[in-house]
């Protein structure tokens, strides 16, 4: 499989993972909705309601346009059984907004896609959150590109997440993690 950035590579794996935790009547917040392909497939077998957030106008049947990091703080997250953060890259900003929203309820299932291309760095704020200073990164940046996912997992642990299901794939030069956890 190419390391080129595409909508929904490993689509079957993503759909099957979500089907395993989705029940009829669930409300889903899809933070990087795109064309809505994943949840449209699930709607064929489950009676669910999906609210999509998409920053690019003209994609799919979107209810909200904007960057999810800016939209999420204004939503009542207690309405949702599942929050999906299927991003290109590292969904740190999205998760930060979710955990910062006081309406997030216990029992909410959160899906994530974590994609690191080649020697891609993680967000500076993620490193800083777990105690890695920018001065350290400047001295040896490649050292920290190798531990971005471990930093991401540590962030989740510090947010009280103790059980995480994660599936790992290496596609070309990209490292891809698809997973979920329950708040």
**Per-residue model confidence as pLDDT tens for the chain (183 residues):** 333 344 556 778 888 889 888 889 999 999 988 888 888 899 999 999 999 898 877 666 667 888 899 999 999 999 999 999 988 788 999 999 999 999 999 999 999 988 887 666 777 788 888 888 888 777 776 777 777 888 889 999 999 998 999 877 777 667 788 889 999
Q: pLDDT at position 87, please?
A: 82
pTM as predicted: 0.86
Domain ranges of the chain: 11-118+161-182
What is the dihedral sign for C-alpha 92, 181, 18, 105? Answer: negative
Residue 120 CB neighbour total at 10 angstroms: 14
Give the neighbor-by-neighbor strand order of the sheet with 109-117: 64-65, 49-54, 27-30, 82-86, 109-117, 174-182, 164-171
CATH code of domain 11-118+161-182: 3.40.50.150
Query: Do residues 120 and 145 touch, judged by C-beta distance below 8 A?
Result: yes
Q: pLDDT at position 4, please?
A: 38
Give 160's DSSP letter. Answer: T
Q: pLDDT at position 183, please?
A: 93
Q: pLDDT at position 32, please?
A: 87
Give 77's DSSP letter. Answer: G
Q: pLDDT at position 6, please?
A: 47
What is the dihedral sign for C-alpha 140, 87, 67, 154? Answer: negative
Burial letters 78-104, b for 16+ CB under 10 A, else e? eebbbbbbbbebbbbbbbbbbbebeeb
């Amino acid at each position: 499989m190419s390391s080129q950035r595409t909508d929904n590579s490993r689509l079957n794996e993503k759909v099957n993972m979500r089907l395993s935790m989705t029940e009829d009547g669930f409300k889903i917040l899809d933070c990087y909705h795109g064309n809505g392909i994943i949840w449209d497939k699930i709607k064929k077998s489950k009676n669910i309601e999906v609210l999509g957030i998409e920053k690019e106008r003209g994609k799919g049947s979107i209810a909200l346009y904007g960057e999810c990091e800016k939209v999420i703080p204004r939503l009542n997250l207690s309405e949702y059984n599942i929050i999906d953060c299927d991003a290109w890259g590292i969904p740190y900003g999205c998760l930060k907004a979710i955990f910062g929203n006081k309406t997030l309820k216990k029992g909410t299932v959160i899906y994530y896609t974590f994609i690191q291309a080649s020697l891609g760095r993680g967000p500076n704020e993620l490193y800083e959150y777990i105690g890695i200073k920018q001065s350290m990164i400047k001295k040896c940046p490649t050292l920290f590109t190798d531990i971005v996912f471990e930093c991401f997992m540590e962030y989740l642990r510090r947010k009280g997440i103790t059980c995480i299901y994660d599936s790992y794939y290496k596609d070309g030069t990209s490292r891809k993690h698809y997973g979920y956890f329950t708040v």
